[in-house]
Amino acid sequence: MRRPVLLVIAHGSRDPRHAATVDALVRQARTLRPGVRVETGFLDFNAPSVPQVLRRLADDGIRDVVALPLLLNRAFHAKADIPAVLGRAPAHLDIRLADVLGPSPLLLATLERRLHEAGLGPADKSSTGLVLASAGSTDPEAIAVIAEIARELRHTGWCAVRPAFASAALPRTEDAVRELRAMGVRRVAVAPYVIAPGFLPDRIARGAAEADVLAQVLGAAPELAHLLLLRYDEARARDRVARSRLSRSSAIPCGPA
């Protein structure tokens, strides 16, 4: 049987670095899984749009699609925007919606990679305060997830960890940096918990001006490419389980006439 198409749904940005990063990440996923057709659609600003990709897939005779939100948290885009746009897809497409990327140990591994590339090794953790800087959200669930990730990171050896947000929630990156300084932390690192460059990551970078270390965005890291395929496989596995249960429940029981 033909494997379902993996449709990666990205937010989009006026910043050309955003689409370039998404394209690089999707190319890695294609390389890792050459037997799977991987497409990209954007919610806004960039082409092709999600509806354009869905129409093209329908015209190509595709029936099965796994739609993967390229999002770190379940917030408004995951809960409302993406289901709405998928609900307007061509009728004969069978679309399964995969989970968002986070939380995941692979995201934490990507974060560690970027901090290491910025010059911080494992031995530096005990003397370094870390600001986990995300884009921000008005969704309490998304905010709670960031706070929990910060707590998890604290248990991996960092001197102290504080969450921060570029929009919609507080504290801002610069406030978290100053809080760590006020605690007496001598070295402060900022780790952007965002996938691609753009307006909000640039705000994070400006807020990190008083920090000692600024890591790069998560970007097209190999761990992130593996995570895309993991979410794809999980969505397919859930579908197989659901179909198996449906088959058992609809079976005609045997017995005497």
For the chain, give every domain's residue range: 5-101+224-249, 105-214
pLDDT in tens, 20-78: 999 999 999 999 999 999 999 999 999 999 999 999 999 999 999 999 999 999 998 99
Q: Specify the pLDDT at position 161.
A: 98
pLDDT the model gives residue 1: 55
Beta bridge partners of 67: 7, 97
Tell the residue number behind the tokens 């593996």, with chain if given.
226
The pLDDT confidence band at residue 117, using thresholds 50, 70 and 90, is very high
CATH number, domain 5-101+224-249: 3.40.50.1400
Prediction pTM value: 0.91
Structure tokens at 161: 């960890």
Share above pLDDT 90 across residues of the chain, in percent, rounded to a whole number: 91
CA atoms within 13 A on the CB side of 74: 11
Classify the C-alpha dihedral 96-46-196-76 as positive or negative.
Answer: negative
Taking residues 88-103, report their average pLDDT: 97
Six token digits for residue 233? 């496989």
Pick the CATH number of 105-214 from 3.40.50.1400, 3.30.420.130, 3.40.50.720, 3.10.20.30: 3.40.50.1400
